[in-house]
Copies of this chain bind each other. A is one copy, B any other.
């Protein structure tokens, strides 16, 4: 079997990091075949930087290229659904940046479409493929902290003036951009159970998207997740997973951690693959999810068990509840 042939949609920072991270993988297994952007110029510039053979000035051209197996969607949130469907409609598997859709409706629509087409689709919750997260899972499963009762996590960074965060038309707000990392962690820890109650409050910016939120997810059997997002200040950004016998701590930044502190207080390191500098922090870790995409596609799977469609939908439902509680409404919600 030859290398998985990737087509990258959008030439922004996260796409830059995906291309950079791919260098950690064997060229026999992964090959970036093409890059597309809305301008041919920026696609060509990107292609030159990463020695990608083909550059396209439109996403339509890329999805028509028969030498591409899987599309990576690295656009702003409001374009995930449209571009996901475009890629799927041309028989391409899809790895889409999180969140998969702007709301539950869009998320469901894209998942249904992928299933209908019989193609692989995964939301890019890259955190879950970090070795640190896998070790966390093992520790929870073997009971090293007893019954897990509380997830206590914050994600706060001063990004409130970044257009992607600030503007409603760009799908802005803290929940969709950074809150998803907190929500997915709670769901990861509590095995994908549905919370029985979702309680949230927050503050909106002048564009009526959330600049901060503070959320309580109540689960059965006395379990709780407390999640805080902030776009105006730096928070601890650690995740404490607390049980009756002790705590597991994903060290800051919990969403791409290389260090896990176990109940005995000892910190274990899970180093990243080496690579060039990335735009976002620790993006070499994107290579982990790229490996998972290849593994699943080669096995003929339509979804990854680690970020299943059901899981993606639940996360979308929780985020939508939080947004509803804090009164954030996107145009996509009104259709």
Check B226–A226 contact: CB distance below 8 A. yes
Chain A residues near B (Cβ < 8 Å): 149-150, 152, 154, 156, 158, 197, 199-203, 211-212, 214-216, 218, 222, 224, 226, 228, 230, 232-236, 240, 242-244, 246-247
Most B-side CB within 10 Å, residue of A156, A215, A242 = A242
Check A228–B226 contact: CB distance below 8 A. yes
Q: How far is the CB of A329 from chain B (nearest CB, A)?
A: 19
Query: A216 with B201: in contact, given A150-B156, A156-B242, A226-B226 (CB under 8 Å)?
Result: yes
Q: How far is the CB of A206 from chain B (nearest CB, A)?
A: 11
Check A212–B150 contact: CB distance below 8 A. yes
Query: A244 with B216: in contact, given A152-B154, A199-B201, A222-B203 (CB under 8 Å)?
Result: no
Check A214–B224 contact: CB distance below 8 A. yes
A244 to B160, CA, bound (A): 11
27 contacting pairs across A/B (C-beta < 8 A): A149-B212, A149-B233, A150-B156, A152-B154, A152-B235, A154-B226, A156-B242, A199-B200, A199-B201, A199-B216, A200-B216, A201-B218, A201-B224, A203-B218, A203-B222, A212-B222, A212-B224, A214-B218, A215-B216, A222-B232, A224-B228, A226-B226, A233-B243, A233-B244, A234-B242, A235-B240, A235-B247
